[in-house]
Amino acid sequence: NYYAGMWYESIQEGKGIMYYHNGDVYIGDWKNNIREGKGTYTRKDGSKYEGSWSKDKKNGKGMVIWDNQSRYEGGWKNILTIR
């Protein structure tokens, strides 16, 4: 993996981009080396999640857009969809 972004004392902190070995990309907020705040995770196939992250998991309001352009907007708690 390759990270490009803000650092604080050797810790990923603030805005940054993570390029994963599998072709996925995360662009957004980091705190203490994990995804925290707002961000977009785009998979290699083009599907993506845009929204809130907490403790490195989807948490709060967000939207998933699949590669066929269908979408879901709503709430998330620790990755799970809240209906």
pLDDT tier, 45 (very low <50, low <70, confident <90, very high otherwise): very high
Distance of CA 80 to the CA centre of its chain: 14
pTM for this prediction: 0.90
- Looking at residue 81, what is its pLDDT? 56
- Looking at residue 82, what is its pLDDT? 57
Q: Average per-residue pLDDT in the chain?
A: 93
Q: Which segment of 10-14, 27-31, 72-76 scores lowest on mean pLDDT? A: 72-76
End-to-end CA distance of the chain: 33
The answer on pLDDT for 7 being more than 70 is yes
The answer on pLDDT for 83 being more than 70 is no
CATH number for region 2-82: 2.20.110.10
